[in-house]
């Protein structure tokens, strides 16, 4: 009997990537909610390098870094596969997964922004990234995001866009502009309605409230 534990934060987009992967593949696991201001001794032991979530513990063996965890799960539980089998498509998928990770640092700047100027700069940076995705990932013959089936690029970007929608609400700004990013907007609208995703999205109001408090604490401490 396989023993799987996920150490994470309910609000974290990185934890969400792993959670969605486990749910999509129907893999039972124990969720261990960590407190970022008081991390468990176990977590620090499992992830001594970065001391952060998510950490997946499979039969006592820890794995760290969300997309490394996702690829690991995909290799061991092949049902509802996330990575393409074709070598070139696999390489392309990994490229866009990395791009999603690179985009997060722009999102982090927005979360930390303490004034209008910083906020504007951060949004510009995010827009630059979203434009690249809009231009390069959609259109004739491009199958980067999953169509009818969820793939690894959907998993990589999904929580990022979810967080942007929360930030729009929390900050009163428009980021995922459907005029600027029609394909991305349309993709996300479909994606968030896929039953397994819909059932496992953190509550929007709870997230907005959380982000506001989180930002206050961050800004106060900087």
Partner 1 sequence: MADEVVLLDFWPSPFGMRIRITLAEKGIKYEYKEEDLRNKSPLLLQSNPVHKKIPVLIHNGKPICESLIAVQYIEDVWSNRNPLLPSDPYHRAQARFWADYVDKKVYDLGRKIWTSKGEEQEAAKKEFVEALKLLEEQLGDKTYFGGDNFGFVDIALVPFYTWFKAYETFGNFNIESECPKFIAWVKRCLQKESVSKSLPDPHKVYEFVVEIRKRIGIE
Lookup: tokens for 31: 């969720």
- Site track for partner 1 across 104-143, x = CB under 8 A: ----------------------------x---x-------
Binding of residue 87 to partner 1 (CB under 8 A): yes
Stretch that binds partner 1, among 33-41, 82-90, 104-112, 141-149 (CB under 8 A): 82-90
Nearer to partner 1, 4 or 132 (CB): 132
Angstrom distances, CA of residue 51 to CA of 21, 71, 142, 187: 22, 21, 38, 34
Binding of residue 72 to partner 1 (CB under 8 A): yes
CB-count exposure of residue 72 (10 Å: 0-12, 13-18, 19+): middle
Stretch that binds partner 1, among 1-9, 64-72, 146-154, 174-182 (CB under 8 A): 64-72
Binding of residue 60 to partner 1 (CB under 8 A): no
Assess whether the previous peptide bond of 54 is cis (omega < 30° from 0).
yes
* Position among 58, 66, 113, 164 found at the interface with partner 1 (CB under 8 A): 58
Residues 23 and 6: their CA atoms lie apart, in Å, by 12
**Terminal Cα distance for the chain, rounded:** 46
Q: Name which of residues 149 to 208 contact partner 1 (CB under 8 A).
A: none
Residues 8 and 27: their CA atoms lie apart, in Å, by 16
Question: Which residues here bind partner 1, judged by CB under 8 A?
Answer: 49, 58, 61, 63-65, 68-69, 71-72, 75-76, 87-88, 90-91, 94-95, 98-99, 132, 136
């Amino acid at each position: 009997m396989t023993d799987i534990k996920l150490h994470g934060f309910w609000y974290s987009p990185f934890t969400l990537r792993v959670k969605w992967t486990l749910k999509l593949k129907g893999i039972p696991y124990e969720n261990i909610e960590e407190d970022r201001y008081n991390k468990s001794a176990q977590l620090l032991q499992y992830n001594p390098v970065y001391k952060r979530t998510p950490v997946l513990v499979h039969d006592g063996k820890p794995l760290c870094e969300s997309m490394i965890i996702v690829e690991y799960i995909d290799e061991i539980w092949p049902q509802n596969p996330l990575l393409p089998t074709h070598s070139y498509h696999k390489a392309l998928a990994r490229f866009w997964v990395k791009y999603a990770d690179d985009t997060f640092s722009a999102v982090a700047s927005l979360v930390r922004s303490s004034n209008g100027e910083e906020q504007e700069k951060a949004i510009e940076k995010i827009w630059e990234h979203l434009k690249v995705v809009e231009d390069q990932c959609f259109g004739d013959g491009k199958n980067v995001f999953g169509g009818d089936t969820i793939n690894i690029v959907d998993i990589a970007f999904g929580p990022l866009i979810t967080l942007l929608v929360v930030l729009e609400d929390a900050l009163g700004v428009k980021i995922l502009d459907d005029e600027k990013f029609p394909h991305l907007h349309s993709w996300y609208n479909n994606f968030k309605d896929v039953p397994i995703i819909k059932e496992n999205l953190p509550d929007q109001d709870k997230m907005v409230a959380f982000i506001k408090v989180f930002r206050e604490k961050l800004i106060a401490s900087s």
